[in-house]
Copies of this chain bind each other. A is one copy, B any other.
Amino acid sequence: MALVVQKYGGTSVGSLDRIRMVAERVAETYREGHQVIVVVSAMAGETDRLLSMGWELCNAPAEREMDVLVSSGEQVSAALLAIQLNEIGVPARSMLGHQARIVTDSVHTKARIRTIDGTGLRSTLENGHVLVVAGFQGTDAYGNITTLGRGGSDTSAVAVAAAVKADLCEICTDVDGVYTTDPSVCPNARKIDRISYEEMLELSSLGAKVLQIRSVELAMKLGIPLHVRSSFSSSEGTIVTDEEHLLERVVVAGVAADKKTVKLTVRALPDHPGVVASVFEPLAEANISVDMIIQNVSKEGHTDLTFTVSREEADRAEAIATRIVDSVDAEGVTRDDEVAKVSIVGVGMRNHAGIAARMFRLLADADINIEAISTSEIKTSCLIEAEHADRAVVVLHDGFQLGKPSD
């Protein structure tokens, strides 16, 4: 008998029929003799519907109240799944964030979990119940309802798994695992059997939608292996675990393309000490994450400073950069939305020299110009023109032979 946490996302509980299917699947695990805690998201579309009501009322809705509003979505799906489980003979109880004692900080709309008291959960399990925990939500120390930010149900699942010392944490979703790259771009993309937390983190940051970044961070920190798999098939998905548990350390695990990036250039910036800080400090104060940075060689005492930001933050970043131009006596700001960032990720890059060089060569041979480069220990990213993004993914995926099963 194992203690299993299964998380189902919004699409998996997106209709009453889907909820019936999820219930069957939970029942199967339960009838095999396992203890099951299910963590559910809101029904697909529901969170957006609730948010839009709040935003329709005003421009800056009170965040405490937005949490109360939005958390009702998971409440509904948890109740419906518990109803259906009882209907098919599986004793089940829903638990909201405050009932499961998921205690967070008080940062409404993006709270972080502080503690989960697993004793209540465990004792209900030991009464033979399946628990259906509303994901995405918690309560702060004062009893206020909080939410964990978009995709927070993944994080709920990991934290609950840690609190009850679960044997397994399954993230059941609408894809059947983590792929070497986006299969809709690269038809011979291959499902990865095992991947390290670090690689998963990089892939998530680079736009792979399978797992929320914070849930991977938390799983890594707490040492909870995740099984990413399809909600509606019994085939094995992808195990996300620490490096020691990988069967082999592939050099490149996956390729990702992030098309939601925007390039901003501050032109003819006077090149003197502190001028770069004067650009990035106001951006940091505005909570804008700058990704890649390129500073051109100085010419006649002036330099161009180019950086990329996410599309969501591009308007704000551009406005701030434009304000800076006057204060530091630069020439102006240029914006380019037609860029993309392609990346290769793999823990093996730590010990293999020349991987980045090979990436540049593959892109060059395909006549794809590289506008900027950034690297981390297990990742190399290149900024290219957006129109070449899909082709770049295929070139890299083939070039690093990711379509071949590793053997």
A interface with B by C-beta (< 8 Å): 16, 19-20, 50, 53-54, 56-58, 60-62, 64-66, 68-69, 71-72, 75-76, 78-80, 82-84, 86-87, 92-94, 96, 98-99, 143-145
- Alpha-carbon separation in the docked complex, A19 to B94 (Å): 30
Q: Which residues of B contact A62 (CB under 8 A)?
A: 82-83, 86-87, 92
Query: Does A16 contact B57, Cβ atoms closer than 8 Å?
Result: yes
Q: Which residues of B contact A75 (CB under 8 A)?
A: 68-69, 71-72, 75
Q: Which 5 A-B pairs have the closest CB atoms?
A: A69-B79, A58-B87, A68-B79, A72-B72, A62-B86
**In the complex, what's the smallest C-beta–C-beta distance from A145 to chain B, in angstroms?**
8
Q: Which residues of B contact A53 (CB under 8 A)?
A: 16, 76, 80
**In the complex, what's the smallest C-beta–C-beta distance from A143 to chain B, in angstroms?**
6
User: What is the predominant secondary structure among interface residues of chain A facing chain B?
Assistant: helix
CB < 8 Å neighbour of A87 from B61, B83, B87:
B61
CB-nearest residue of chain B to A101: B143
Q: Which residues of B contact A16 (CB under 8 A)?
A: 53, 56-57
**In the complex, what's the smallest C-beta–C-beta distance from A267 to chain B, in angstroms?**
41
Query: Does A57 contact B80, Cβ atoms closer than 8 Å?
Result: yes
Q: Which residues of B contact A65 (CB under 8 A)?
A: 79-80, 82-83, 86, 92-94
- Alpha-carbon separation in the docked complex, A144 to B79 (Å): 12
CB-nearest residue of chain B to A143: B99
- Alpha-carbon separation in the docked complex, A300 to B78 (Å): 63
Q: Which residues of B contact A99 (CB under 8 A)?
A: 143-144
Query: Does B20 contact A57, Cβ atoms closer than 8 Å?
Result: yes
- Alpha-carbon separation in the docked complex, A20 to B93 (Å): 36
CB-nearest residue of chain B to A86: B62
CB < 8 Å neighbour of A58 from B64, B83, B96:
B83
Q: Which residues of B contact A83 (CB under 8 A)?
A: 54, 57-58, 61-62, 65-66, 69
Q: List, sorted by A's number, 14 A–B pairs whose CB atoms are closer than 8 Å.
A: A16-B56, A54-B83, A57-B87, A60-B87, A61-B86, A62-B92, A64-B82, A65-B79, A65-B82, A66-B79, A68-B82, A69-B75, A69-B76, A72-B76
**In the complex, what's the smallest C-beta–C-beta distance from A53 to chain B, in angstroms?**
6
Q: Which residues of B contact A50 (CB under 8 A)?
A: 76
**In the complex, what's the smallest C-beta–C-beta distance from A189 to chain B, in angstroms?**
37
